[in-house]
Amino acid sequence: MSNWLNVSDHHDFSIHNLPFGVYSNNGVGTPCVAIGDSIIDLKAAAEAGVFDGLGVDASVFDAPILNPFIETGKAMWSAVRSRLQESLRDESSALSASKSSILRDRLTAEMLLPLHVGDYTDFYSSIEHATNVGKMFRDPENALLPNWRHIPVGYHGRASSIVVSGTDIKRPQGQTLPPDAKVPMFGPTKRLDFELEMAFVVGKTTKLGSSISTAEAEDHIFGMTVFNDWSARDIQKWEYVPLGPFLAKNFASTVSPWIVTMEALEPFRCASIKQDPEVLPYLQYEGDHNFDINLQVDLTPENGSASTICKSNFKYMYWNMAQQLAHHTVNGCNVNVGDMMASGTISGHEEDSFGSMLELCWGGKKDIALNNGDTRKFILDGDTITMKAHCENEHFRVGFGEAVGKILPS
Ligand code: CA
């Protein structure tokens, strides 16, 4: 344990994690770091001298978003995190001396969306998910389209509707084509779904016309967060041809309030599955670029208890983040600090590891059982979806917290 707050090494927010977020300090958004059931107010910490000697401009902690801090660069992210680890291990540190003015109760803190997200891109990088959807929406025999194993398929999503965990989501309305109907109807979606995803946050701005190689890519990533890409399947089915998702996806995406740094994820790095056929040179990479991150989705009915309906893992991804970023910028597209790039739904091999209700109920053909005897195919009004993620080895745990959203009627 070895920290004066006595936070267990197997806590989601152990000393080995120290994820960044923004909390409301009496209505003022303030950058912070989670440790156990506490948060460290970074503005107060800077004022107390915790970061003295690092050369960090304290004004980056006097901002309602993390973007200015992220712009200080990878070496400074690491220096600030290391200084906090040292301070938490040293009872005579400036952090310890001023703890009453620096530490807050995390469990009662109001967390805010920690970033200005200028652009959001959603990939489609799980082969199990793409195969499942292809089987249901198109052809069971040739589920993957011919481009899928050659391109990390993605689309540009909507940044304006990204919300922080705890924000209620209104059931969207839209056009659908009912089965056997000739003309569309308008009304609330009947097939409201979640998509279990992780997103990475761009940590370095690039110029228009420049590209990021797979070797450089991880230097451009600040960290990762849990991402629920809410989806209206009936609206999606009618609208997605030929340009892809639009109103079925842009009404809301929920993120966890904490961004776990790539440095904290380093012990959980693992190999990706072998890609076949071999990809084009600009998508080839060296080393391991996947991460072993356990994922879970719970559904809680109104006034009910939580049922875990999916357990998956980020390591199942076919395309890794380095390839996604290399592909995204290979044409000269610029990216900015705070941009979010989501993985796409993360499904595993087993039926209980499918990362959406569309797959769990197999297009409406099966019931999803809940603890209380109820069943679901898609999400009902009053249901709450909770996504959780964590890495763990025999020594310690690194958790992401939760991305929670409750569905309200249209
Ligand atoms: Ca998605």
State the DSSP string of 194-246: -BEEEEEEE-S---TT----TTTGGGGEEEEEEEE--EEHHHHHHH-TTT--S
* Residues, beta carbon < 5 Å, ion ligand 1: 122, 195, 229
d(CA 71, ligand 1 centre) in Å: 27
d(CA 347, ligand 1 centre) in Å: 12
Give the Cβ contact number of residue 189 at 10 Å: 24
Query: Where are the alpha helices (H) located in 266-370, listed in sequence order?
Result: 321-329, 357-360
d(CA 229, ligand 1 centre) in Å: 5
d(CA 289, ligand 1 centre) in Å: 21
Is the previous residue joined to 146 through a cis bond, with omega within 30 degrees of 0? Answer: no
d(CA 183, ligand 1 centre) in Å: 27
pTM: 0.97
Active site residues: 129
Angle at the Cα of 265 from the Cα atoms of 261 and 266, rounded to 5 degrees: 115
Domains recognised in the chain with CATH numbers? 20-112 (2.30.30.230), 120-408 (3.90.850.10)
CA pair distance 234, 222, nearest whole angstrom: 35
The tens place of each residue's pLDDT in the chain, 410 residues long, gives 589 999 999 999 999 999 999 999 999 999 999 999 999 999 999 999 999 999 999 999 999 999 999 999 999 999 999 999 999 999 999 999 999 999 999 999 999 999 999 999 999 999 999 999 999 888 888 899 999 999 999 999 999 999 999 999 999 999 999 989 999 999 999 999 999 999 999 999 999 999 999 999 999 999 999 999 999 999 999 999 999 899 999 999 999 999 999 999 999 999 999 999 999 999 999 999 999 999 999 999 999 999 999 999 999 999 999 999 999 999 999 999 999 999 999 999 999 999 999 999 999 999 999 999 999 999 999 999 999 999 999 999 999 999 999 999 99
Of residues 261, 316, 289, the one with CA closest to residue 13? 261
d(CA 102, ligand 1 centre) in Å: 38
- Facing residues of 294 across strands? 313, 390
